[in-house]
Amino acid sequence: PALPHFSDFTEMMRALGYPRLISMENFHTPNFMLVSEVLLWLVKRYEPQSDISGDVETEQDRVFFIKAVAQFMTTKAHIKLNTKKLYQADGYAVKELLKVTSVLYRAMNTQGGERADLPEEDSSKFKFDLGSKIADLKAARQLASEITSKGAVLYDLLGKEVELREARTESIARPLEINEAEKVMKIAINNVLEQVQKTKDMLNNVALDEASLEAKIEKRKLELERSQKRLQTLQSVRPAFMDEYEKIEEQLREQYSTYLEKFRNLTYMEQLLDDHRRTEQEMFEEAANMLRVIQNRLKEEEQQHLLKSGSNDDSDIEIQEDEGSDSERDLQITRHRISTEALLQGRVGTRVMGSMQGGDTEED
């Protein structure tokens, strides 16, 4: 039958139990949200167990949704929908929706005209399921393919009918020879008997193979039991070298603890030795600085002494006194220098790190 006018779309949706009121003014402009909602409702009405997602937030999601609905209607209801018109979501989409709603509406009318007059909440319980017809559909498709192949073979055979007709007529016209027929029947009987014998031999071979396999399985079971018993015996018996192993392991533990203690002591002694050498180096540098200061001071005193001796040449007494005092001062300086050098020589045996030159500062 011809499809109804799209003005009847609202009436069909109301009769099918759609919860919202739909007006044709809703489709004057593209309204994809309403079209997607109607499509999802129709799919759920057609098959409640369908798993088509209603997510249409992005453009990619909308394309997937339209393709999924079109594929579902094609495979389940054999209704071909125009995806381009559905995506437009305007009056052209209503024409595509009518293809589905009209099928559901006619199916509802075949169940009884009184279902169209049911209240909205009762009509929403209507379910149309073709799950029971899927097996029949597959069988019909298989039969259709077989009919096509058989028809092609029959067409080829009918094409050879002109040649075969003469051979068939000749064979029918020829008188039947009993001896030849008997000979052919004996040959056929012998062939059948050979096939039967081969089948029996194969069955006997299968029985022999089964017996040999059972014997092998039984042999493997016995070997497994023996291996398990041997394993249990080995696990229960203590090895002869285990006592010696445990004793050596205990000695190793003690040796390792002794090694750790000696290693710690050695590390501590090396640290003390480094500290002692560092202290001696600092003392040597301090003595060297002190010696340098004393040398500088002695040079200054000698210069002052030379200046004083040059200015005080008036009397011999003063000169003698000055010479006496200078000789005593030189003696003291010489003794101080000898004691300082002896102090430095006593430290020469130690290892010295660094330079012998110190920085001259105002404090020194």
The full DSSP string for 317-341 is: HHHHHHHHHHHHHHHHHHHHHHHHH
Residue 6 confidence (pLDDT): 54
Residue 76 confidence (pLDDT): 80
Whole-number Cα distances in Å, 286 to 182, 279, 295, 339, 359 = 140, 11, 14, 16, 11
**Distance (Å, whole) CA 258 – CA 338:** 52
Fold classification of 5-110 (topology level): Actin-binding Protein, T-fimbrin; domain 1 (1.10.418)
Helices (H), 160-177: 161-173
Query: Which position has the token pair 């399921």?
Result: 129
pLDDT in tens, 157-202: 888 888 888 888 887 777 777 888 888 889 999 999 999 999 988 8
Tallying the residues shown for the chain, one arrives at 364
Residues of the chain scoring pLDDT < 70 = 1-7, 111-133, 311-364
**For 182, what's the count of Cα atoms within 13 Å in the CB-facing half-sphere?**
3
Q: How far is CA 128 from the centre of its chain?
A: 44
**Distance (Å, whole) CA 179 – CA 175:** 12
Residue 361 confidence (pLDDT): 46
State phi, psi for 195 to the nearest 5 degrees: -65, -40
Please tell me whether the overall predicted TM-score, pTM, comes out greater than 0.75 for this model. no
- As to burial, measured by CB atoms within 10 angstroms (0-12 exposed, 13-18 middle, 19+ buried), residue 4 is middle
Residue 340 confidence (pLDDT): 52
The helix/strand/coil state of 163 is: helix
